[in-house]
Structure 1
Amino acid sequence: MTESFRPFSLGTLAEPAGREFPALVVGDRVQEVSDLAPSVLALLQDWDDVLPALRQRAADGSGARPLDGFAVRAPLTPGQIFQAGANYRTHVIDLHVKHNPQLPEAQARADAAAVMDRRAADGQPFVFIGLPSAVTGPYDDVVLPPYSEQHDWELELAAVIGREAFRVDRAHALDHVAGYTIANDLTTRDLVFRKDIPELGADWFRAKNAPGFTPLGPWVVPAEFVEEHPHVTLRLNGQVMQDESTKDMIFDVAAIVAAAAEITPLRPGDLVLTGSPAGNGMAHGRLLRAGDVMEGTITGLGTQRTRVVSP
């Protein structure tokens, strides 16, 4: 029988004077855990040793204080960020329809569905690199860069690495995941494909790495407390835009972690983003503009709320 523990999360909080510290969060109560490590990243780098102590403190609750009064920062400053593209079946089909207006919609959907079936059976996850400098807090404003008016949302489940992984197989990949958090992987749509050199394909550096283009958190929730297929929901100004279970993934979390780790070592504190479900602005014909408020929720991981502002 598997031993159960009181659910908890990890976050980075700031006092009114500005001092930041790693915190263990249970409900609306927090305990500082800087005696175990100076940051959430450092906790992850010593994950096997600190996890028992974190479980004990969550159960004990002594010294806990109300969460109110602390500012919530991004839960960690990641090392590497690995991002998965085109990983939700319905999302990919919707985008294929939008990018191929010359085709009858039924044909475009059928063509894309056939490609997705082949990918799931014989393909590999499409993984690329993001910049840690794009990370911002879960309640920070998102400043739209001035070089485009086609900025889009992409709410995603992000796996947080807690044990180094290099050339691990899919069956053991999740053993290297400490927990999960929420990432909104914002994209500038008109920069995805280069007009000057279309033969080179997607330019993810330009399209995804502006400052603040990866709102993260609020929390890192240990894997043992996260359900197998959480639900991803994004609301724009209160209206539901994305609302999908991770069951719609073409490649699951283990497959993406294993694919990234085949090429390079994944280290504690790295993030593996797992793709975005259907319901992006491109599909709705409604992209981000100043004054918008995005509210992103994933089952069991909390909610982030970010306001969009002009440059």
Structure 2
Amino acid sequence: MKLVRWGALGQERPGMVDRMGHVRDLSSHCTEIGPDMLAPERLARLAAIDPQTLPLAGSDCRLGVPLTGIGNLIGIGLNYRDHAAETGLALPAEPVVFSKHTGALSGPFDDLNIPPGTAKLDWEVEVAAVIGRPAWQVDEEQALSHVAGYMTANDVSARDWQMERGGQWIKGKSGPGFCPLGPWLVTADEVPDPRSLRLTTRVNARTKQDGTSADMVFPMAFLVSYLSRFMRLAPGDVILTGTPKGVGLGRGEFLMAGDLLEVEVGGLGRQCVRAR
């Protein structure tokens, strides 16, 4: 099942994608796609709905962030072997954990306004895992049962703010538009193996990143279990799980106004964002 939020910014409504790829209006069944809708029993009720019985949302509708009420955006750094190699850094012995401010959230096709003061705005295609059930001290074998679904994410990063201004990474990770999510929230039953997803980035139609989640240093189940040792993960928390090689930092290339940025995760959908 693919869940969306559609409509003008600040006026999004819940939706579902039918088998033809059309957005259908879910407003008659729920008021929002938020943390309370991620419980297994709530998702099961939505999955029982035939999308063809729902009204069409319109072919030109804007898609927003697929989930509202996101409490925490947790990032994992250096979690792909080839990405660590391109940065010249050793593989971490334990996951590198950082946060992004929720003010960075944006829709999958919204413009990315380059903020003043950065000249090194970078892309990072990632698989985002969405927590559906509270997770505290969970075993790795049970960890994925706490995941409601997955989304395509772009961990946009101002590298100069992140690496040249001291302090923690969150400063370079949190500008407005620095975390496009979507286009859909794909429920976990449609992603039987999160270790075999292809991740790609194109800038102005030129491929920059092309990898698979099989290259993760710490796979999805390990990450959920690991994080739950230190914090109580709550429904609606989102974990960005790392990026493959090909980021601008490794190439000495950064986004400029007018660039068209496309990121995609196989089965989770494609984003298309214009830098302004």
Is the TM value for this pair above 0.5?
A: yes
1:145-180 CA distances to partner (integer Å, 9 max, x unpaired)? 111201110110000111111111111110000000
Inter-CA distance 142–15: structure 2 relative to 1 (3 Å threshold) = closer
Bigger share in helix:
1
Q: In 2, are the aligned partners of 1:28 and 1:67 still within 8 Å (CA)?
A: no
Matched, 1:222 2:187: yes
Distance in 2 separating the partners of 1:82 and 1:213: 13
Report the equivalent of 1:48: 40
Inter-CA distance 42–274: structure 2 relative to 1 (3 Å threshold) = closer
1:235-289 CA distances to partner (integer Å, 9 max, x unpaired)? 0000110000100100001111112111111111110110011000111221111
> 1:219, CA displacement in angstroms?
0.5
When the two chains are superposed, the root-mean-square deviation of aligned CA atoms in Å is 1.9
Q: In 1, are the aligned partners of 2:183 and 2:270 still within 8 Å (CA)?
A: yes
Match of 1:25 among 11, 17, 27: 17
Report the equivalent of 2:253: 286
Distance in 2 separating the partners of 1:28 and 1:125: 36
Larger radius of gyration: 1
Matched, 1:135 2:105: yes
Identify the range of structure 1 (20-29 vs 138-147) with the bigger mean alpha-carbon deviation. Answer: 20-29
Distance in 1 separating the partners of 2:96 and 2:37: 26
Letter in 2 for 1:307: R
Distance in 2 separating the partners of 1:41 and 1:147: 34
Matched, 1:265 2:258: no
Q: In 2, are the aligned partners of 1:125 and 1:255 still within 8 Å (CA)?
A: no
Give 5+ residue unaligned stretches, structure 2: none
Q: How does 1:177-196 map to 2 (within 5 A)?
A: 177-194=147-164
What number of residue pairs does the alignment pair up?
272
- TM normalised by structure 2 equals 0.92
Distance in 1 separating the partners of 2:98 and 2:35: 25
Distance in 1 separating the partners of 2:67 and 2:156: 18
User: Aligned residues: percent identity?
Assistant: 36
- TM normalised by structure 1 equals 0.82
Match of 1:150 among 95, 117, 120: 120
